[in-house]
Every structure is written in structure tokens, then in C-alpha cells.
Chains A and B, each alone.
Chain A
């Protein structure tokens, strides 16, 4: 009987841990919602990108090295060749002029801390400052 309880316990533990792993937790729910509706169709729900056409955002060195510029890329778009994890991409990213400074801040914080990405929190003030000086 004891053995049976033990195996039941492991079974439920397995089910619960699977369910937990399936539901993606984020500290930036608005950022996730905005990302899913404005960015995911190109960059993918898991930030995986698309072949050599669209760069990934998950574990992308370009994001880690240029965290401040990301706000300008989102607002103004990006043209020309870029290098992400050693791979060249050249498809233009369209601008998103309608997103507010707060929305852009939330998207950046979501992306910079999703799918294994880990980056320090960026404040609205920092983003305001960056957006003033976009090229």
C-alpha cells in the first residue's frame, strides 16, 4: 500500500511539473502580450527567428551588446546588414511608430528576460533618453 502511494505521488509530481513547464511564466506580462502581437509573427513566439531571413532574439549577442539601441530599432526599424551570433541578416525591420515609450520599455524587458535571456531591468527614463537621440 505504501509503495502505491509513493508511485502515485511521483505520478502527480510529474504531471504538475509538466504543466508548470508548459505555462510560460514571465515577470513582464504586458511586454509578452505586446511582443506576441507586434513582434512574434516575424521573430517567433520563442524568439527563434526564421532561417537566414529574420534574426533570433533568444540568446542573440546583438541584443546583449546593444541593449540601449533596442528602443530605437523597435521605433524606427532597422535597415542594412547586421551580424547576429556570427550570421549575417539583411532583411529590413519595419518601424513601429505607434508603440509608446512605456510599451517599448515593457517589450524590451520581456525580450531581455525571456527564453533564457538575462539582462538588467531597463527603466522608462532610460528608454525616454535613448528615444530622444535615435538616428
Chain B
């Protein structure tokens, strides 16, 4: 009996250690098949959905563009500082991600506001200070409202003005995980600590991916 218990225990321990090795994350979003000619031969190539170029200001007034995330793994979410609903929960979970990876040079976090009228650089600086995330690789971004909704759509995340929603904006609590080539590799419910546990593991998978 005792031998049997030891055996089962050992197997379970080994299984739990095996979590991430060899795991591959899919590339999400629309795919386009294009025909191209290589060395006279016709071939079919797949073009994966990619997050487009952007240019916003962060809490320190620094211009942050797609160049800042070049060759980096990063997470992105949409929020607003006066949000009375899910944002604080998502921010508490993002803090967990931040404390785990804040010292990684090839990792970043981008939180885009959808309320640029109220969320000025000064307001974002105040918020970042209250959240104790300065200094670091977590940038709270603001800019033109139309550009922000366009960027949200490129992340396949919903974020828009909606007078019927609490606080005046409708948005999801999802966090997107982006790879070094700006492909979306995962979405995680930022209000669910277990899903964020998975995000923390998947970030490690992308950081270890060959590039």
C-alpha cells in the first residue's frame, strides 16, 4: 500500500513539473494565404494578423511607438482611470504579472486608456504613482481617441465610448499577449486570477521562443 502511494505521488509530482516544456502558443487572428514565386516555383505563403503601428504618450510624457516593442514580448490591455467596474481587478492582476517580469529587458506592458479626454499624461502619472509601478517597463498610454479604438481593434479587443456602460466606456477585461513579431498569441480574462496564472506561464514560453 505504502509503495503504491509513493508511486502515485512520484508520478503526480513529475507530471506537475512538466508544465511548459515544449508548449507552443497559436498565432491568433485572421490568416491570409498568398501565392508567391520562389526560384520559379509557385508557393502558398500564410500572412498572420499583426498589430499595426502606433504612437502614444506614456505616464512620463515619453512617446511610445511600435519601435519600443520591437523584438519584445509584451502584454496589452485597455482601461480608464475612473473606471468603476472591472479595471481595478484587472490592474491588480496586471500588478502580479509586473512583479514577476518587471526586470526582464525584453518584456513590456502597455495599458491603453480609452478615455483620453480625462486620462491626460498628468492623470496617468498620478495613477501609475498610486499603483506603485514607476519606474519600469509598464507604460500607461494616452493619445487620440480614434487611434486608440483603431489600436484596440487591431488587438481584437473591444473598447469604445458607450453612455449606457458604467463610467461611460464599454471594454473587455481581457489582456492580450503579443510576441516579438507583434502577433497575438493569447487572450486572458484579467478578472480571473487562474487565467492570469496561465498568462504568467505563457509569457515565459514566448520569452524562450527562438527569434
Contact = CB atoms under 8 A, between A and B. Distances in A.
Interface of A: 40-42, 44, 50-54, 91-92, 94
User: Nearest 4 CB-CB pairs, A to B?
Assistant: A53-B130, A94-B84, A52-B130, A42-B88
Interface of B: 82, 84-89, 91-92, 95, 127, 129-132, 166-167, 191
Nearest to B87: A41
Nearest to A40: B89
Nearest to B167: A94
A50 B84 contact: no
Nearest to A54: B88
Given A50-B91, A52-B131, A52-B132, 10 more contacts: A41-B89, A42-B89, A50-B92, A50-B131, A51-B131, A53-B88, A53-B131, A54-B88, A91-B130, A94-B167
B95 A51 contact: yes
A71 to B, nearest CB: 19
Contact of A50 (B86, B88, B167, B191): B88
A91 B89 CA distance: 15
28 contacts: A40-B89, A41-B85, A41-B86, A41-B87, A41-B88, A41-B89, A41-B191, A42-B84, A42-B88, A42-B89, A44-B89, A44-B92, A50-B88, A50-B131, A51-B95, A51-B130, A51-B131, A52-B130, A52-B131, A53-B88, A53-B127, A53-B131, A54-B88, A91-B130, A92-B82, A94-B84, A94-B166, A94-B167
A92 B127 CA distance: 13
Contacts of A51: 95, 130-132
A41 B91 CA distance: 10
A90 B15 CA distance: 48
Contacts of A40: 89
In this complex, the member of B84, B127, B167 whose beta carbon has the largest number of chain A beta carbons within 10 angstroms is B84
B110 to A, nearest CB: 19
A52 B167 CA distance: 21
Contacts of B84: 42, 94
A54 B132 CA distance: 12
Nearest to B127: A53
Nearest to B173: A41
A32 to B, nearest CB: 17
A35 to B, nearest CB: 14
A78 to B, nearest CB: 13
B102 to A, nearest CB: 14
A15 B82 CA distance: 43
Nearest to B81: A91
Contacts of B86: 41
Nearest to A45: B89
Contacts of B82: 92
Contacts of A92: 82
Nearest to B86: A41
A108 B191 CA distance: 24
B176 to A, nearest CB: 20
B98 to A, nearest CB: 11
A50 B93 CA distance: 10
A94 B85 CA distance: 10
A92 B82 CA distance: 8
Contacts of A50: 88, 91-92, 131
